[in-house]
A and B are shown apart, each in its own frame.
With several copies, the nearest count.
Chain A
Amino acid sequence: MKVLTFGIAKDIVGGPEMDIPYSEGMSVLALKKAVLKNYPQFEKLNSLAIAVNNEYADDDLQIRPTDEVVLIPPVSGG
């Protein structure tokens, strides 16, 4: 599964997206765990959210294969 990255997440991953093995019915929480396992530097961030189809996603949301999934490190606009 392709996961898009922005800001410091892009720096950590070394590019604008990362690949995470997808399994049917995978939850947002499972995705976060997979991200942290592959890139432990995310542990050091103030927060790490996941957006699914342009919305902040709860941990128990199940990801579908067609969803647009994005890592949201701490925001700092304004």
Chain B
Amino acid sequence: MEKKIDIQISDKPLSEQTCLEFVAHPGAGGIVNFIGTVRNQTKGKAVIKLEFEAYVPMAISEMRKIAERTFQQWPVQKMAIHHRVGTLTIGEIAVIISVACPHRKAAFDACSFAIDTLKETVPIWKKEFFENGAVWVAAHP
């Protein structure tokens, strides 16, 4: 059976082209890609770099669950979720979520759901490095 879901965690730069080629589908009319990139600041403080750490087997499993829930809730044809780990500098891609659907509205909703859920459930941790110090994002109130 044709593979409908592609989940990857990688310490190499992510490729939107790879995601797009994976989700390409002759019945697709709308593909929505979310690309999360490293911002140069957080609450006004300059960010120098980021580090992402993952509990890889569980992160893969949770990303797959998100994809499966997305397929259940919308008429998704194909979906890719790629997440980067390791050290990233400003502008680098941290995550790509690509969703192909027959029509665009579902693709927008499904992609938005997927990134929202990823940020809530997938065991990946982001450390932001500033001029003087570093913090694990979202760890403390």
Contacts and interface: CB of A to CB of B under 8 A. Distances in A.
**A–B contact via C-beta, under 8 angstroms:** yes
Interface of A: 4, 6-8, 10-11, 44-46, 51, 54-56, 70, 72-78
A76 B138 contact: yes
B136 A73 contact: yes
Contacts of B123: 6, 51, 70, 72, 75, 77
A7 B121 contact: no
Given A4-B55, A6-B55, A46 B140 contact: yes
Consensus secondary structure, chain B interface: mixed
Contact of A77 (B57, B118, B139, B140): B118
Contact of B119 (A8, A10, A51, A78): A78
Contacts, number: 81
Interface string B67-107: 00000000000000001000000000011000000000000
Interface residues of B, number: 29
Given A4-B55, A54-B57, A55-B58, A76 B140 contact: no
Given A8-B139, A75-B138, A78-B124, 17 more contacts: A6-B55, A7-B53, A8-B125, A10-B53, A11-B136, A45-B140, A46-B139, A54-B57, A55-B58, A70-B55, A75-B125, A76-B119, A76-B125, A77-B52, A77-B94, A77-B118, A78-B36
